[in-house]
Amino acid sequence: MSEDQARRGRKVAAKQRNPLLPFYLGVGALLVVGIAFLVTFAIRGGFGGGVADQVNAPVGQTADGFWYKGDPDAPVTVIKYSDFQCPSCAFYYRNLGKIIERDYIETGKVHFIYHEFPLEGFQNALPAGEASRCAGEQGAYWGMHSLLMQNQDTWAPLSNARNVFSGYAGQLGINRAAFDECLSSGRHRETLLAAAQSAIAAGITGTPTFEVNGQVVNTSGLPGAIEAALRAAGQ
C-alpha cells in the first residue's frame, strides 16, 4: 500500500468512526441549554412550587401597619383589598398583577399597599394572613405572599394548613422556629380581623377590590384608573 493510499485510508476510517459527531455535539449543546433553562424556570417558581418572586422595589409598612411595595412618594397609590384564599385574588396575582408590578410598581409610578381582607367562609384565609404577617416579622412578608398566591390550590382545601405554611417559611430561608412560634401565638389575628372591619367600613364588598388615589375600581378597571391617575399627576 502506498503512502498516499495509507493516508487516504486513515481519513476514510476516521470519517467512518465519527459520521454523526456534529449531530451529537449539536444535541449535547441543546441539552445543556435546555437544562439551564429548566433550572432557571424552576428557581423562578415556574412550576408553581418554587421560591417566591423577588420584589424589585422598596418595601415596608405604612403608618397604620399595612405592607407596601413601591416608592412611597410615587404619584399614584393603589390599595388592594385582598384575601389570600380568594381564587380571584390569586388569579389577579398570577396574571394582571405581574404586569402592574413590572410597568408601574418597579418603575416608581405606583405605591402599592396590600390591605388584608380575610373573608368569612374561607377556613384558611385568616391563618394565611397570619403566615404572611409572621414572615413579615423577619422581612419576608412579600415572599410569603407570593408563595401563598402561587400555591393557593395546594393549601386552600386543607383542614389545617399550618405545616404547609411552615414549609414555605423554610423555602424562604427565614427562622422556621420563630415563624412557627409566631403562627401558634395568634398575635396577628386581631390585627387582621380589624383590617377586615376597616375594609367593610370603607364600603368594600368583595375581593380583589382596588382603590386608586381614592377611586374604588375592580380588577378590569385597574389599568385604566392607574393611567388616568398618572395623567392627572402630569406623568
Q: What per-residue confidence (pLDDT) applies to 52?
A: 65
Q: Find residue 209's DSSP bridge partners.
A: 81
pTM of the model: 0.78
The CA distance from 167 to 139, in Å, is 17
The CA distance from 83 to 132, in Å, is 12
- 59-232 CATH fold: Glutaredoxin (3.40.30)
Nearest CA among 169, 173, 143 for reference residue 54 = 143
Q: What per-residue confidence (pLDDT) applies to 39?
A: 32
Q: What per-residue confidence (pLDDT) applies to 53?
A: 73
pLDDT along the chain (235 residues), means of 10: 39 41 40 35 38 82 97 98 98 97 98 96 96 98 98 97 98 98 98 98 96 97 98 94
The CA distance from 107 to 112, in Å, is 12
